[in-house]
């Protein structure tokens, strides 16, 4: 099968890869780039464990062909912390126990990140809608919603965005 | 009540790895030369295998191995309890999840091609798909050599006939629950390889690493000490990963090929093949006086357990143990059965048979209140179990103060006594209702094996390594154990590093199941900590010349009767080490059963009790049948809060899972075939469905609990579904007896009442 060449930015680093055209962004991230933060929970867009941010929007990486990411900017959970320091969003999830087993957490974080990019002070209803595609079987969601609300407050206090 | 570390808000100890993507789950583990493992599952729920030909598959390019039952060196059995479930089927298949062959190949495509090239000729046989039909003498035998009916428990106390004769009202109702998929976000998986010295290593998403080691070793026919099982990060389990899935097959393939092999189930495979929560039929007959006092209870529990016994006998046995609920029942007969069918395997899931019977006894309490014109709260308070009372299975509940306390706390917080003031009909098509449900759960494995080891080590700088065989699967056990270690060693939580299950490095702690690890491993940690603490204090006494009794450790410092002394724990740790005082220790704890706790049950239902109460407020659309849970007030006695975020997380997660159980979760199984085979067709709550939950945790200590703590993981879910069912009944004025309460069922109930 002829391969396609993809050039994109992942967590701020420019990458060029060749891959079979049927492979998904999730497969390329996990298998070719070793970025296993995004998870495969269902392979068909039902669970949201694979959510990454592509050009500032949350997408299910299992439903995006890798070739579609050509020229795009991708942010995964591995790109949230900088110089070993957790972002406000990660810090808020830690403090509010917005995670338990942690398998849905990378997707949950990235959906929340995309929300806060476009809406830095979301209402609870807006938070719920933003993570409605991210299934979580452990927390019951309210700790996650608390975390995102807390992250917005931390960022506001610190006077900067993500 | 917080200590220096206990009860003080703190993140989960493994938060940094989980929040940065550094945490490696089974499917994330890097490995050179890894083969892709896959299993061929049965095409029929019940059939004879006429022929099985794997030669073509073996000859395909990229295929490293294709194994059948003939290639298993040791026992072809999961060996969970009795050897009735083969790892690879030989002459017949008994449900859709039976594996027939195991494949290892260089890549996904080659593995798929191999599966397709395996030739199996089946002769479909008539199966048994309804547990009541399967109980009949003329029903097809599900598993040759085994009876369809597995009697699981029979508990009798008092005199049933006299009890019913004394009754002024008798209510006889039957309740039904459905098949439930665990739907953890991480499907089952395992990675196996062979070490240079021949040791077989298996990383598996599991709940019981030491039991895994035994099961795998027996199938591979190797001694257990040549087998190592490691538990990496686990993406949820809820009971299902307490039972082996693909770890034995992965190990067989690694042994056969000498190469590393990983098997990770797809979501569809996970739903079709692995264990589910039993659908249960509970016939509940109660007798009571006009004042609401129970005089007799007769309960029959029938669980569809699929073709293999697995944990079915124990789950139905546990269901019987707690079937009378947190109520004093002097005259009772409780009997339970697991019934073999050609449906999915019934297995452990959060509550272990408890949620099904809780639905029945709590619906019955409301039915009784309605019949007598009494307040449902008063009926429950009148019958509330008290400390020292004997339960139908013959056990004594040592601490039952929380039954009354949680009922009253929930009622006060939900405005129960003023509930008639709520707006019952906020719009023409809407009805509002409130429902109450208490629960009783018994922590631990009962009289069977129920012990744990833990290893603690304090280094010369005062930092601590805690090695535990208890699996962390999101429930917070690492944090709970680290917190107790820190509290007892006088160090901050950050000074403790937890090393999780690895049978080469950690001691058997038994399964992370039965809400037992905080209790059992927690006590083991306390025992290990006591030895190191003694070393520190003896050293401090020697250094200061003060008597040991006045000394204490806190926040990394030494105190004498509350006064800070000029010694740090790192200084004391270094001195104690050089003075040859023990600075590492094994703690061992086995569940203690006081003599008076004699019981007729050999293996279940005699541990410490947990009690809780939940009240749900719902809004029912009487035109569409839709139910909206407006609020849940959830009160649970945890004995002692070890970590407040963790405890609250268990409650909110439990209540949300329970809300799904009540309203939407139902695996559709028809003639042995699971039709809802995705997360698109088996629905769980999303953020938009989750109710608002007000959580109240009580701290009535359990006498044997570490710092008074009891488990919370399973109790958290028990009351939610019955509270919602009772609330919907309250809203529409019709008694209900089956969950989930789908819109169709709610409308049928409303229509039925009109006729």
Q: Are residues A8 and A72 in the same domain?
A: yes
Number of inter-chain CB pairs under 8 A, A vs B: 179
Q: Number of structural domains, chain A?
A: 2
What is the residue range of A92's domain?
88-158
Average pLDDT over residues B492-515: 97
Q: What is the pLDDT of residue B600?
A: 55
- Chain B residues in contact with A74 by the CB 8 A cut-off are none
The helix-helix angle for B743-754 and B720-732 (nearest 10°) equals 40
Does B185 contact A90 at a Cβ distance shorter than 8 Å? no
Supply the pLDDT for residue B601. 53
CA distances to A142, B12, B646 from B649, in Å: 9, 11, 5
Compare CB distances from A97 to B27, B646, B684 and report the shortest one's residue. Answer: B646
Q: Cβ B678–A86 below 8 Å, yes or no?
A: no
Query: If contacts are CB pairs under 8 Å, which of residues 52-71 in chain A contact chain B?
Result: none
- Domain final residue pick, A49, A79, A109: A79
Across residues B108-125, what is the average pLDDT? Answer: 98
Task: With a cut of 80, say whether residue B734 has pLDDT above it.
Answer: yes
Cβ separation B236–A103 shorter than 8 A: yes
Does B505 score more than 80 pLDDT? yes
Nearest in space to A56 (alpha carbons), one of A117, A3, A143, A136? A117
Q: Tokens 């996904």 map to which residue?
A: B108
Higher-confidence residue of A27 and B596: namely A27
Residue B588 pLDDT more than 80? yes
**Pairwise CB contact (< 8 Å): B20 & A81:** yes
Give the domains, in start order, of chain B with CATH numbers.
15-22+451-590 (3.30.365.10), 31-125+188-264 (3.90.1170.50), 276-445+597-754 (3.30.365.10)
pLDDT at B599 over 80: no
Torsion sign, CA atoms B276, A46, B40, B250? negative
Are residue A43 and residue A104 in the same domain, yes or no? no
- Burial grade of B755 (CB within 10 A; 0-12, 13-18, 19 or more): exposed
The Cα–Cα gap between B461 and B455 comes to: 18
Mean pLDDT of B37-66: 98
User: Mean pLDDT, to the nearest integer, of A130-143?
Assistant: 98
Average pLDDT of span A72-96: 97
Chain A residues close to B189, C-beta within 8 Å? none
B32 band by pLDDT with thresholds 50, 70 and 90: very high
Are A109 and A64 within one domain? Answer: no
Nearest to B508 by CA among B708, B214, B751, B218: B214
Q: To the nearest 5 percent, what fractions of chain B are helix, strand and coil? A: 30, 25, 40
Query: Is A11 in the same domain as A70?
Result: yes
Residue A73 sits in the same domain as residue A136: no
CB nearest A97 (choices: B12, B473, B688): B12
We report the CATH number of the domain holding residue A71 as 3.10.20.30
Residue partners of B362: CB distance under 8 A and separation at least 6: B325, B436, B437, B438, B439, B719, B722, B723, B725, B726
Predicted pLDDT at B604 = 55
- Full-model pTM: 0.97
- List pLDDT tens digits, range B537-551: 999 999 999 999 999
DSSP 8-state secondary structure symbol assigned to residue B62: T
How is B492-558 classified by DSSP, letter by letter?
A: -GGGEEEE--BTTTS-----S-TT-HHHHHHHHHHHHHHHHHHHHHHHHHHHH---GGGEEEETTEE
Residues of B in contact with A37 (CB under 8 A): 20-22
All residues of chain A having their beta carbon less than 8 Å from the beta carbon of residue B652 are 139-143
Residues A153 and A124 in one domain: yes
Q: From the candidates B20, B29, B238, which should be mutated to test the interface with A, based on the most A CB atoms within 10 A?
A: B20
Domain boundary among A79, A97, A122: A79
Instruction: Classify each residue of B504-543 as buried b or exposed e, where b means 16 or more C-beta atoms within 10 Å of its C-beta.
Output: eebbbbbbbbbbbbbbbbbbbbbbbbebbbebbbbbbbeb
Longest dimension (CA), chain B: 87
Are A92 and A60 in the same domain? no
Q: Among all residues of chain A, which has the CA nearest to that of B475?
A: A100
- pLDDT at site B79: 82
- Mark yes or no for CB contact B19/A42 under 8 Å: no
Best A75, A86, A97 residue to mutate vs chain B (most B CBs within 10 Å): A97
- A147: domain CATH number is 1.10.150.120
Q: Is the ipTM of this complex over 0.90?
A: yes
Which residue in B22, B679, B690 is closest to A142 by CB distance?
B690
Count how many residues are written for chain B. Answer: 755
B750 class by beta-carbon count within 10 Å (0-12 exposed, 13-18 middle, 19+ buried): middle
CA atoms lying within 13 Å on the CB side of residue B601 = 35
Contact present, A151 and A89 (Cβ < 8 Å) = yes
How far apart, in whole angstroms, are the C-alpha atoms of residue B333 and residue A137?
Answer: 36
Residues of B in contact with A145 (CB under 8 A): 687
Same-domain check for residues A72 and A93: no
Record: contact A140-B11, CB cut-off 8 A? no
Q: Which DSSP string do the residues of B222-282 spell out, in sequence order?
A: --GGGEEEE--B----TTGGGS-SSHHHHHHHHHHHSS-EEEE--HHHHHHHS-EEPPEEE
Q: Give the DSSP letter string of B285-306.
A: EEEE-TTS-EEEEEEEEEEE--
The residues, any chain, with a CB within 8 Å of residue B678's CB and separated by 6 or more, are A42, A44, A46, B267, B268, B271
Nearest CB among B18, B28, B679 relative to A135 is that of: B679
- The alpha carbon of residue A159 is apart from the nearest alpha carbon of chain B, in Å, by 23
- Comparing A159 with B662, which gets the higher pLDDT? B662
User: What does the DSSP 8-state code read for residue B119?
Assistant: E
Instruction: Say what the pLDDT of residue A160 is.
Output: 66
Chain B residues within 8 A of A86 when measuring between CB atoms: 16, 19-20
> In this complex, which of B11, B185, B654 lies closest to A104 when CB atoms are compared?
B185
How does pLDDT run across B192-221, given as a tens digit for each residue? 999 999 999 999 999 999 999 999 999 999
Enumerate helices (H) and strands (E) in chain B, giving the number of each.
19, 30
Q: Any alpha helices (H) in B21-154, and if so which ranges? A: 55-59, 108-117, 131-134
Q: Which of A47, A80, A100 sits opposite B474 (nearest CB)?
A: A100
- Measured CA to CA, the distance from residue B606 to residue B445 in angstroms comes to 8
Please state, in angstroms and rounded to a whole number, the distance separating the CA atoms of residues B264 and B270.
9
Among A135, A22, A144, A102, which residue's Cα sits nearest to residue B267?
A135
Report residue B557: phi and psi, to 5°. Answer: -125, 165
Residue B608 distance to chain A (closest CA, Å):
24
Task: Give me the pLDDT at residue B596, please.
Answer: 52
pLDDT digits (tens, 9 = 90+) for B410-445: 999 999 999 999 999 999 999 999 999 999 999 998
Name chain A contacts of B22, Cβ cutoff 8 Å.
37, 78
HSE-CB for B20 with a 13 A CA cutoff: 13
Contact B203, B231 (CB under 8 A): yes
Determine contact, residues B252/B71, Cβ cutoff 8 Å. yes
Of the residues A60, A79, A98, the one at which a domain ends: A79
Mean pLDDT on B602-625: 88
Q: How much is the pLDDT for B598?
A: 52
Angle at B630 between CA B625 and CA B633, to 5 degrees: 130
Residues A123 and A61 in one domain: no
- The pLDDT value recorded for residue B605 is 56
Residues B519-535 pLDDT 10s:
999 999 999 999 999 99
Mean pLDDT, chain B, rounded, equals: 96
Q: Is A128's Cβ below 8 Å from some Cβ in B?
A: yes
| A50 bridge partner residues | none
Distance CA B457, CA B586 (A): 9
What average pLDDT does the segment B327-337 reach?
97
Cβ-based contacts of B473 with chain A (< 8 Å): 101
Tell whether A46 and A25 lie within a shared domain: yes
Answer yes or no: do A53 and A92 share one domain: no
Mean local confidence (pLDDT), A75-88 = 96
| Residues A149, A130 share a domain | yes
Query: What is the mean pLDDT of the segment spanning A57-75?
Result: 98
Secondary structure class of B587 (helix, strand, coil):
strand
A122 in reach of chain B (CB within 8 A)? no
- Does the beta-carbon distance from A46 to B21 stay under 8 Å? no
Q: What is the pLDDT of residue B597?
A: 53
| CB B253 within 8 Å of CB B65 | yes
């Amino acid at each position: 099968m002829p391969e396609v060449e993809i050039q994109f930015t992942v967590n701020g680093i420019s990458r060029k890869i060749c891959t079979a055209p049927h492979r998904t962004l999730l497969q390329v991230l996990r298998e070719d780039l070793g970025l296993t933060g995004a998870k495969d929970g269902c392979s068909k867009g039902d669970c949201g464990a694979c959510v990454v941010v592509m050009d500032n929007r949350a997408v299910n990486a299992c439903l995006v062909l890798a070739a579609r990411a050509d020229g795009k900017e991708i942010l995964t959970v591995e790109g949230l912390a900088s110089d070993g320091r957790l972002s406000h969003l990660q810090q808020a999830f830690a403090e509010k126990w917005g995670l338990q087993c942690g398998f849905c957490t990378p997707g949950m974080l990235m959906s929340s990140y995309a929300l806060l990019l476009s809406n830095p002070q979301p209402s609870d209803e807006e938070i719920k809608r933003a993570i409605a595609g991210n299934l979580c079987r452990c927390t019951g969601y309210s700790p996650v919603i608390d975390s995102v609300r807390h992250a917005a407050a931390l960022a506001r206090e610190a006077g900067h965005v993500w | 009540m917080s200590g220096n570390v206990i009860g003080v808000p703190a993140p989960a100890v493994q938060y940094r790895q989980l929040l940065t993507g550094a945490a490696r789950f089974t499917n994330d583990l890097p490995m050179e030369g890894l083969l892709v493992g896959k299993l061929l599952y049965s095409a029929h729920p019940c059939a004879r295998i006429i022929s099985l030909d794997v030669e073509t598959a073996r000859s395909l390019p990229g295929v490293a191995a294709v194994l059948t039952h003939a290639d298993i060196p040791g026992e072809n059995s999961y060996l969970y309890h009795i050897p009735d479930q083969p790892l690879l089927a030989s002459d017949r298949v008994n449900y859709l999840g039976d594996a027939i062959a195991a494949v290892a190949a260089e890549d996904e495509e080659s593995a798929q091609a191999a599966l397709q090239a395996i030739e199996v000729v089946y002769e479909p046989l008539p199966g048994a798909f309804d547990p009541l039909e399967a109980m009949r003498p003329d029903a097809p035998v599900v598993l040759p050599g085994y009876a369809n009916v597995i009697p699981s428990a029979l508990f009798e106390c008092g005199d049933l006939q006299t009890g019913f004769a004394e009754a002024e009202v008798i209510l006889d109702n039957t309740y039904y629950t459905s098949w439930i998929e665990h739907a953890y976000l991480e499907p089952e998986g395992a990675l196996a390889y062979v070490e240079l010295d021949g040791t077989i290593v298996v990383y598996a998403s599991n709940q019981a690493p030491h039991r895994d080691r035994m099961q795998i070793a027996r199938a591979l026919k190797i001694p257990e000490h040549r087998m190592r099982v490691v538990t990496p990060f686990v993406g949820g389990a809820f009971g299902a990963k307490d039972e082996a899935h693909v770890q034995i097959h992965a190990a067989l393939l690694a042994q056969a090929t000498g190469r590393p092999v990983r098997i990770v189930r797809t979501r569809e495979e996970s739903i079709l093949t692995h264990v589910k929560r039993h659908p249960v039929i509970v016939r509940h007959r109660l007798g009571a006086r006009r004042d609401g006092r129970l005089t007799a209870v007769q309960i029959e529990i029938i669980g569809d357990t699929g073709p293999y016994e697995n944990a079915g006998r124990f789950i139905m046995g546990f269901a019987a143990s707690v079937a009378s609920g947190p109520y004093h029942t002097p005259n009772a007969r409780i009997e339970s059965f697991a019934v073999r069918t050609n449906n999915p395997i019934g297995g452990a899931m959060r509550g272990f048979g408890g949620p099904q019977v809780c639905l029945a006894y709590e619906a019955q309490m409301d039915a009784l209140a309605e019949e007598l014109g009494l307040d449902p709260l008063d009926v429950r308070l009148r019958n509330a179990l008290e400390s020292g009372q004997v339960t139908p299975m013959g056990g004594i509940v040592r601490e039952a103060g929380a039954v009354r306390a949680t009922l009253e706390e929930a009622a006060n917080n939900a405005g129960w006594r003023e509930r008639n003031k709520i707006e019952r009909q906020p719009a023409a098509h809407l009805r509002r209702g409130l429902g109450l449900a208490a629960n009783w759960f018994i922590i631990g494995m009962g009289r069977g094996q129920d012990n744990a080891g833990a290893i603690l080590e304090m280094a010369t700088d005062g930092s601590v390594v805690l090695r535990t065989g208890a699996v962390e699967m999101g429930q917070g056990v690492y944090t709970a154990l680290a917190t107790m270690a820190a509290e007892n060693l006088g160090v901050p939580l950050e000074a403790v590093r937890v090393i999780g299950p690895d049978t080469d490095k950690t001691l058997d702690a038994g399964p992370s199941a039965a809400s037992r690890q905080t209790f059992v491993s927690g006590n083991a940690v306390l025992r290990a900590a006591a030895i190191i603490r003694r070393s520190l204090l003896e050293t401090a006494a020697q250094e200061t010349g003060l008597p040991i009794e006045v000394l204490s450790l806190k926040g990394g410092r030494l105190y004498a009767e509350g006064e800070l002394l000029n010694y740090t724990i790192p200084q004391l740790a270094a001195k104690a080490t050089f003075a040859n005082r023990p600075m590492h220790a094994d703690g061992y704890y086995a569940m203690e059963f006081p003599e008076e706790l004699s019981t007729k049950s050999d293996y279940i239902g005699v541990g410490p009790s947990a009690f809780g109460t939940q009240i749900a407020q719902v809004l029912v659309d009487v035109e569409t049948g839709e139910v909206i849970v407006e609020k849940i007030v959830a009160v649970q006695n945890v004995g002692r809060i070890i970590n407040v975020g963790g405890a609250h997380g268990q409650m909110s997660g439990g209540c949300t899972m329970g809300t799904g159980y009540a309203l939407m979760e139902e695996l559709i199984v028809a003639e042995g075939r699971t039709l809802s085979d995705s997360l698109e067709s088996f629905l769980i709550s999303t953020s938009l469905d989750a109710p608002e939950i007000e959580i109240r945790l009580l701290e009535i200590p359990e006498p044997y609990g570490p710092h008074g703590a009891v488990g919370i993981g399973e109790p958290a879910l028990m009351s939610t579904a019955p509270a919602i069912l009772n609330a919907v009944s309250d809203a529409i004025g019709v008694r209900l007896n089956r969950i989930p309460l789908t819109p169709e069922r709610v409308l049928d109930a409303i229509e039925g009442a009109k006729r």
